[in-house]
Amino acid sequence: MSRGGAVTWQSLLEPNDAIYAVRTQAPGPEGRLPLTPALLRDSPSGDVFGMTQNAGMGWPRANMLGPQVMIVSTAGGMRSEDGRPIALGLHSGHFELSDQVRAAAETIADAGGLPFATYVSDQCDGRSQGTTGMFDSLPYRNDAAIVMRRLIRSLPTRSAVMGVATCDKGLPATMMALASQHDLPTVLVPGGVTLPPAQGEDLARVQTLGVRYANDELSLEDAAELGCRACASPGGGCHFLGTAATSQVVAEALGLALPHSALAPSGEPVWAQVARQSAHAVLRQRELGITTRDVLTEQAVENAMAVHAAIGGSLNLLMHIPAIAHAAGLRRPTLDDWVRVNKAVPRIVSVLPNGPVHHPTVRMFLAGGTPEVMLHLRDLGLLHLDVLTATGETLGTVLDWWESSERRVRMKQVLLDQQGVEADDVIMSPARARERGLTPTATFPVGNLAPDGSVVKSTAIDPSRIRDGVFHHVGPARVFTSEAAAVAAIKERAVSPGDVMVMMGIGPTGTGMEETFQVTSALRYLSYGKEISLITDARFSGVSTGACVGHVGPEALAGGPIGRVRDGDLVEIRIDVANLEGTIDLVGDGSGRLTPTEGARLLAQRSPHPDLAPHPQLPADTRLWAALQEVSGGTWAGCVYDTDRIVAVLRAGLAALDGADG
């Protein structure tokens, strides 16, 4: 180091004399490997080499023949023993997960097993909102699942697998990886939620600080203070029912996670206990001979879809649940399946962001969480009760226990004592939910702008815009071919009440199907935002609200008619929030009103919008992902990789090229 502490290039190479105290050999671990003649004769060399590695890492030789359990997690960042950050994670969701990994691993070891821990950390959708980092968000899910599967298979002697994950893409990726372990027992440990501030804004609303400041609806001082304290604890997923929290609930509803494990507050005793009990559960499954194939069935997937509808969950799960089913070797739910389930299942949960009362997710956990929701659905006859759960028992058995359990009673009492909230005001009976005005979750509009379908969180439309159960908006199109242009227009007040914003070219081929929360949150939290609607081929954050229609198919860059809309076209949106039916149509141009049929003909005659193109900074990795998922069925099939289909298309393409060359 030079005087004054400045770093010179020489000091990088010769920092101090301590670097010359180098050992060239070491005595190695004491003791003997527990080898047998049969093991040496019959086992592959990798088994013996693995034992050598285990000894080298310091594992006790006397405890080397127990069941080997692979733990995959999305842990990120690094903390000191006293909890201070040494290196930050990309988000609080994975910042404390290593503590859950440790709790699970210690439990496995205490039971005589050998835990292995590997890590595939994940990105933060909130951190990458409005940036090119969002182009890697959804594609990351597929990549992470692949890497996790490769790591799992890299321990050939594994006899069970655990996953520990929390947030928007890491948790679905982990479920996909576990779902593919057909012949092994698996358990998912949900990483829990962060606590909301005692006074301040939730993590959804706080993401709109910039747009509210730009519209003179928030001061600089308030923005700085609110932004500082929105994360009231260092770990856990966002405290609203977005994609992270919804995925935790879905993991439990699928039977992959223990009952009442989703949404536990990160860092609290119950959260660490979830990891320990999950370790016991996966070892119990092994003893009983239960595998993932026994737990993940088509009936389990239907249960998860029903719970998703009942809680009003994130629409991103419309892509993740089919992807999990695909990994499990099951039939993927179709658009018709989603319509059927959402028409049959009432919404009975009042949480952020749907309300009507915006309870944070920790209150949902204390109100009974997923088992409480499923108890109500059981009484309506909407669940398959004979499916197995992570406990090794059937769902029916678990719900019978939950109904009279001490845990149920005491958790609800904690909610009442600490928050003054009755559990039945968070998770309601269907009758109470009807009285409070809760309506079903999602509607799937079709029309000349979305011939393959689309989706809107109909529960999130401002009630003042609904007349006799129907949202109806006819307005001029304001066309944007990038999210950045749409956000700029809102900040500059260039979008007016009554407009229909049409964001095109932001689907898989254009941006990796980025999440457009910047726009949807602005419309939610601006005073006049409820008067503006949005139609896009992109996707939304799980906390998005308002009259926002997404997942429009086909996407613009795949020839979808949404890519032929022009500024000033007249667009009609009609959403029946009671019967869950809807349409989005072009119904006019500069020459006057058109019928939907006439609008379809006009769209077919037009060329694509002249500014329509993939984002110039779209990574090559994401372009490859977009092509592979399109061949595999696209958005409504879960954005998966269907290997057989991809191979068939490649072979057909090569044959066509060879024929053309010939």
For residue 661, the tally of other CB atoms under 10 A from its CB is 6
Give the separation between CA 238 and CA 252, rounded to whole angstroms.
18
Given a cut of 60, whether residue 58 has pLDDT beyond it is yes
pLDDT of res. 461: 85
**pLDDT tens digits for range 287-296:** 999 999 999 9
CB 618 within 8 A of CB 135: yes
pLDDT 10s digits, 262-290: 999 999 999 999 999 999 999 999 999 99
Active site residue 541: yes
Q: Note whether 295 and 389 are within 8 A (CB).
A: yes
> How high does pLDDT run on average in the chain?
93
Residue 617, number of CB atoms within 10 A of its CB: 10
Q: Which CATH class is domain 67-196+232-431?
A: alpha beta
Contacts of residues 523-528 at CB distance under 8 Å and 24 or more positions apart, as own/partner, are: 523/490, 523/548, 524/208, 524/353, 524/460, 525/205, 525/208, 525/211, 525/212, 526/208, 526/211, 526/212, 526/215, 526/217, 526/490, 527/217, 528/497
pLDDT band at 545, cuts 50/70/90?
low
* Residue 592 tokens, joined: 């006057």
Helix, strand, or coil here: 581?
strand
Closest CA to 540 of 510, 507, 563: 507
> Among residues 99, 82, 429, which one has the least CA distance to residue 264?
99
Helix (H), strand (E) at residue 140: helix 137-153
Supply the angle between the helices 298-311 and 243-254 in degrees, to the nearest 10. 140
Phi, psi of 95 (to 5 degrees): -75, -30
pLDDT band at 2 (very low <50, low <70, confident <90, very high): very low
If you average pLDDT over each of 47-56, 454-463, 577-586, 593-602, which comes out highest? 593-602
**Helical packing angle, 97-110 and 269-288, nearest 10°:** 40
pLDDT digits (tens, 9 = 90+) for 462-480: 888 999 999 999 999 999 9
* Angle separating helix axes 170-179 and 243-254, nearest 10 degrees: 20
Given pLDDT bands bounded at 50, 70 and 90, which one contains residue 323? very high
In tens, the pLDDT along 634-659 reads 999 999 999 999 999 999 999 999 88
Distance CA 97, CA 119 (A): 10
CA distance 341 to 304: 10
Contact between 558 and 446 (Cβ < 8 Å): no
Whether pTM exceeds 0.85 = yes
Q: Which residues pair with 388 in a beta bridge?
A: 394
* pLDDT of res. 1: 44
Report the C-alpha gap between 197 and 232 in whole angstroms: 5
- Specify the higher pLDDT residue, 571 or 234: 571
Q: Which of 56-60, 179-183, 539-543 has the highest mean pLDDT?
A: 179-183
**Average pLDDT of the segment spanning 43-63:** 91
Is residue 349's pLDDT more than 90? yes
DSSP state of 2: -
Q: For residue 408, how many C-alpha atoms fall within 13 Å in the half-sphere facing its CB?
A: 17
383: left (phi over 0), alpha (psi -120 to 50) or beta: beta
DSSP 8-state class, residue 480: E
Q: What mean pLDDT is predicted for residues 89-105?
A: 95
The domain ranges of the chain are 67-196+232-431, 442-605, 626-659
- Burial of 117-141, coded b for 16+ CB within 10 Å and e otherwise, reads bbbbbbbbbbebbbebebbbbbbbb
Q: Are 178 and 292 in contact (CB under 8 A)?
A: yes
> What CATH code would you report for 442-605?
3.50.30.80
Q: How far, in Å, CA of 29 to CA of 233, rounded?
A: 41
Question: Residues 523-540: pLDDT tens digits?
Answer: 877 888 889 999 999 998
> Are domains 67-196+232-431 and 442-605 of this chain identical in fold?
no
Q: What is the pLDDT of residue 441?
A: 80
Token readout for 124 is 């933060």
Q: Give the whole-angstrom CA distance, residue 481 versus residue 485.
A: 7
User: Distance between CA 653 and CA 662 in Å, rounded?
Assistant: 14
Residue 47 near residue 39, CB atoms below 8 Å: yes
Question: Which range (187-196, 252-261, 517-526) has the least confidence?
Answer: 517-526
- Structure confidence at residue 4 (pLDDT): 54
State how far the Cα of 659 lies from the Cα of 655, in Å rounded to an integer. Answer: 6
Q: What percent of the chain has pLDDT over 90?
A: 78
Asked whether the predicted pLDDT for residue 431 surpasses 90, the reply is: yes
User: Which residue, among 196, 173, 73, 203, has the nearest Cα to 542 in the 3D structure?
Assistant: 203
User: What phi, psi does 587 have (nearest 5°)?
Assistant: -130, 20
**Distance from chain centroid for Cα 74:** 13
Written as six digits, the tokens of 336 are 């018709």
Catalytic residue among 247, 266, 541, 632: 541
231, 235, 239, 243: CA torsion to nearest 10: 120
Report whether 371 contacts 228 (CB < 8 A).
no
Instruction: Give dist(CA 157, CA 44) in Å, integer.
Output: 11
Question: At residue 330, what are phi and psi to the nearest 5 degrees?
Answer: -105, 165
Written as six digits, the tokens of 402 are: 């939950």
H-state helical runs in 421-551: 430-435, 483-491, 508-511, 517-525
